[in-house]
Amino acid sequence: MRSHTCPKCQGSMVEGFILDNPHGAYSVTNWIEGAPEKSFWSGVKVGKKAKYEVQTWRCNRCGFLESYAAG
C-alpha cells in the first residue's frame, strides 16, 4: 500500500474506498465521465461513458478524505 501525506495537516493517510449499497449489493463507487443524465428506469443513464473506480485516502489525524479516479 502506498503512503500519502495529508495536504491539510501533514498526517499519514491510508487507502480505502467509499461503499455503495444499491439494492442490497455492495460495490465500490465509480466516477462516470460527463454530466449526469436522468433516466426513469435506472436513475441516471451511464451507457458507454468512461467509468473508473474511485480510490479514497483518509487522514489518520484529521479525517480529511481525498479521492482519485485513476484510469
Confidence at residue 16, expressed as pLDDT on a 0 to 100 scale: 92
End-to-end CA distance of the chain: 18
pLDDT on residue 56: 94
Q: What are the extents of the domains in the chain? A: 4-68
pLDDT for position 60: 95
Amino acid 70: pLDDT:
83
Task: Give per-residue pLDDT as tens, 1-57.
Answer: 567 899 999 999 999 999 888 778 898 888 999 898 898 888 888 888 889 999 999
pTM above 0.95, yes or no: no
CB crowding 6-43: b at 16 or more within 10 Å, else e: beeeeeebeeeeeeeeeeeeeeeeeeeeeeeeeeeeee
